[in-house]
Structures are given as C-alpha cells and as structure tokens.
Amino acid sequence: MPFLNSFGQWLPERVVSNVEIGALLGCEPDWILSVSGIEERRFAGEEESVASMGAIAARNCLSAAEIDPGDIDYLICSSGSAERRFPGPAVEIAHALGCREIPALDLPLASAGSLVALDLARDLVRRYRRVLVVASEKMSTVALMEPLERGVSMLFGDGAGACLVSEEPGPLEVVDSLISADGKFANDLALPFGAPLSMNGRSVILHASRKVPRSIEDLLSRNHLKPSDVGSYVMHQANLNLIAKVASVLGVESERFFANIAKYGNTSSASLLIAANEWLQSSGLRRNDHAVFTVFGAGFQWGSMLLRGA
C-alpha cells in the first residue's frame, strides 16, 4: 500500500491584511472576513517564482523525511499560476533540489491539482520507489491583475506545499481515492493567457457545495464507512463558508474540518498540502483512524482521498 510519508510547506514573508487589500479594492476588512473567512494572506516578492517557492517546500518535506533529493525517483508539480507556457516549474524544482535526471511532470491544474497529483503518485510508486509531489502557486499575480475585482482579488495568496509518497511505511496510509471532472463548466472558473481570472462565483459555490460532499460520500460508501466515521477532513482552502457548508451537508461537526484559510487565503493547488502539513503537525491521526482529503477546482475538477493512520 502507498503511504504519505512527510509534508513540507513554504509561505512568503510579506503579510497582506484585509485592511491593506480592502483599501486597494474599496471594501471593508470585516466584509472580506464575513464572506470568505480570510483575515490575511501572503504575497511573494518579484524575485520569488513558482519554482523557487516549490523548491523550498520540497526541501522542507524531504528534510522532515530525512530523505536525500538524490533518492527521489519521480517529481510531480501542480501549478495553475506558472510564469510561462513551457517548460513548467517541475524541471526547475528538480534541478534546484539536486535530483538525478528523473521524470518531472507538470500538472497545470488550479485548486484540485495537488490531490490529482497524489492520486497519480499512489500508482506511480509501484514503478518508481519515491514520488515527490509539489504544489506551488503565485496567485498574487492573478489577484492584482487589472481590472481589479473585489470578489476575486481579496481571495488569493501565495505559497507552496509538498508531500513525499512511497510504499515505505509512513504516518498516513492511502486507502482509496476518487477523482472526477466535468468540462461543461470550464468557463465558470478560468484564467486566460494575459487576462484576469474569470469566475462565476455563484456557479462555483453551488457546484462545490454539491459535488464535494457527494465525492466524499461515494468514496466512503465503497469503503463501508460513513462521514461520522472519519475523524478529520482536510479540504482545499477556498472559502471558510464553503467548508462549513460541506460539513453541514455531510452531517458532521465543522470542527472536524481543519482550516487555516484565515492566515493564508486561497493558495489554489498549494492549499491542500499546506493545510495537510499543519494539520498533521497540530493533531495528526491515531493508528487506524481515518481522514479524508478533498478538493474542488477549475475544470470543474474535484475529488477525495481516504487515508488511515499508520
């Protein structure tokens, strides 16, 4: 069985409060908090790139596992905010780490990308001993693109997360996963080249609040579990109100859902791995207890992963 062996993260130093972003957007800080659950976010500097942030998160992940970069056999990087069409950040991250000439795969997926990468990694470890998953996003470039829209610009922050996947025993055993997509709504959340992010907020919230609980319930049902059997949920940090809605639909306490969106905002595909790292450090999972990672993002793409404490 595959395991999630360790996590790592990195956040830029610059903290951007609701007061600062609210002044830029012409809206009250309390309004931002009420509609999103966000109090502040991090913005990277001009010299900080998707690849450089991802490399730091990856180093922290490998350090936690006491694994040398030369022992990584495959690298996957998820990012929807990479600075160029090609090459993607995966090869730069592998080079910065000092990896061997290993496969380096880019997934240009916003929000859901890190879980899609973990789903791929759980199968790849049968051929490649150790797979490093990195998700890195510089969403401030999206948030600050003119013309500014307060419903979009207030949401996003920068950051990177990483996870080492292998068949070597680790704290989290991967039991099962379920990934879905529906391109009918591709235009409801899209980032064109050279243009601001286009988001139909009503559509995104509506579909996420329906599709995420269904994904979790379907995954649990085929593993003979109920939502109440899961001790911890770690969800893509898009909106605190959405997280509460998903908990309500599942009929579980919102306290079971780990949340750090107040500190970092929406860091797109990086958010799941950053949240997972902080969740594991703060509370973790007892042996044989269950946790679920779940995401929803552009595409629409969504999915869930069932984990067991090892």
Distance CA 162, CA 62 (A): 9
- Averaged pLDDT for residues 243-260: 98
The predicted pLDDT at position 283 comes to 87
23: which residues sit within 8 A by CB, 6+ positions away?
Answer: none
State the Rg of the chain over Cα: 18
Position 188 pLDDT exceeds 90: yes
The predicted pLDDT at position 3 comes to 98
What percent of the chain shows pLDDT beyond 90?
A: 98
Distance CA 70, CA 125 (A): 16
The predicted pLDDT at position 48 comes to 98
**pLDDT, tens digit, 9 for 90 and up, residues 125-156:** 999 999 999 999 999 999 999 999 999 999 99
The predicted pLDDT at position 112 comes to 98
The predicted pLDDT at position 110 comes to 93
Q: What single DSSP character describes residue 310?
A: -
**pLDDT, tens digit, 9 for 90 and up, residues 70-103:** 999 999 999 999 999 999 999 999 999 999 999 9
pTM: 0.98
Report which residue type is found at 228: S
Tell how strand 104-107 and strand 74-78 pair up.
parallel
CB 165 within 8 A of CB 5: yes
Distance CA 74, CA 127 (A): 10
Number of helices and strands (H, E) in the chain? Answer: 11, 14
Would you place residue 1 in the very low, low, confident or very high pLDDT band (cuts 50, 70, 90)? Answer: confident
| Residue 76, helix vs strand vs coil | strand
Distance CA 202, CA 112 (A): 19
**pLDDT, tens digit, 9 for 90 and up, residues 157-169:** 999 999 999 999 9
Would you place residue 44 in the very low, low, confident or very high pLDDT band (cuts 50, 70, 90)? Answer: very high
Position 284 pLDDT exceeds 90: no
The predicted pLDDT at position 300 comes to 98
86 CB-contact burial (10 Å; exposed 0-12 / middle 13-18 / buried 19+): exposed
Position 115 pLDDT exceeds 90: yes
Both tokens of 66, joined, read 């006491």
Would you place residue 194 in the very low, low, confident or very high pLDDT band (cuts 50, 70, 90)? Answer: confident
108: which residues sit within 8 A by CB, 6+ positions away?
Answer: 78, 79, 80, 82, 88
Q: Which domains does the chain have, with CATH numbers?
A: 3-166 (3.40.47.10), 172-309 (3.40.47.10)
The predicted pLDDT at position 231 comes to 97
Neighbours of 29 (CB within 10 A): 18
Both tokens of 11, joined, read 């956040």
Distance CA 66, CA 54 (A): 18
What percent of the chain shows pLDDT beyond 70?
A: 100
pLDDT, mean over the chain:
97
End-to-end CA distance of the chain: 11
